[in-house]
């Protein structure tokens, strides 16, 4: 007997899938759309982990829901590998040197590099911040601080406890400048 479930499961061709993701995350994995994160150069395990969390509804992202619900484990593995190999490129958002300076001070106090690495390129389940979109990181940091990111790693929330919106903006400029 064959396992009917796995035999019958239909998966969209990989190229078609990547085109779908690219409409929001950028054809080359570098997002040009406000508040949508770039995926290029993310650690493979980070993308894999987030896609599983989204598919299972643990991290709830309304915009993403229709695109993750029918992903197979094989699709997720292939997508994570694909995005990890692409080159991260900084977008055209302005980086404010004053905010970078302030962000660098806060980051040193809060030891961001202990998890995200001195290059801020991330590792394992910890995302790359270098060259990520500023507007996305500001939103993400607020969501962590205000406990609004469902399924979030509590380590992140603890790290930025008590920071103001201005502090979070400074951190985003610091991180994106890498």
- Residues forming contacts to ligand HEC in the complex (CB under 6 A) are 17, 20-21, 23-25, 36-37, 39, 47, 50-51, 61, 63-64, 67, 79, 107, 110-112, 114-116, 125-127, 129, 132, 137, 139-141, 152-153, 155-156, 159-160, 171, 175
In whole angstroms, how close is the CB of 8 to ligand HEC at the nearest point? 21
CA distances from 41 to 60, 67, 168, 175 (A): 23, 21, 23, 15
CB distance 150 to 60 below 8 Å: yes
CA dist 69 and 57 (Å) reads: 9
In whole angstroms, how close is the CB of 58 to ligand HEC at the nearest point? 9
CB distance 177 to 100 below 8 Å: yes
Nearer to ligand HEC, 6 or 109 (CB): 109
Nearer to ligand HEC, 8 or 63 (CB): 63
Nearer to ligand HEC, 88 or 92 (CB): 88
CB distance 69 to 12 below 8 Å: no
In whole angstroms, how close is the CB of 6 to ligand HEC at the nearest point? 20
Nearer to ligand HEC, 41 or 127 (CB): 127
**Tokens encoding 71:** 């992903």
CB distance 43 to 127 below 8 Å: yes
């Amino acid at each position: 007997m064959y396992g009917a479930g796995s035999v019958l499961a239909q998966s969209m061709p990989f190229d078609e899938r990547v085109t779908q993701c690219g409409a929001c995350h950028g054809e080359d994995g570098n997002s040009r759309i406000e508040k949508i994160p770039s995926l290029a150069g993310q650690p493979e395990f980070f993308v894999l982990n987030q896609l599983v969390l989204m598919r299972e509804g643990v991290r709830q992202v309304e915009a993403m829901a229709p695109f993750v619900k029918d992903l197979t484990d094989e699709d997720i593995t292939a997508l994570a590998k694909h995005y990890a190999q692409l080159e991260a490129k900084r977008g055209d958002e302005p980086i404010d040197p004053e905010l970078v300076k302030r962000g660098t001070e806060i980051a040193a106090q809060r030891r961001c590099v202990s998890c995200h690495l001195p290059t801020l390129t991330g590792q394992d389940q910890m995302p790359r911040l270098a060259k990520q979109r500023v507007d996305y990181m500001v939103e993400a940091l607020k969501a962590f601080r205000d406990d609004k990111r469902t399924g979030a790693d509590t380590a992140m929330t603890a790290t930025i406890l008590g920071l103001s919106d201005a502090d979070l903006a400074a951190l985003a400029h610091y991180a994106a400048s890498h």
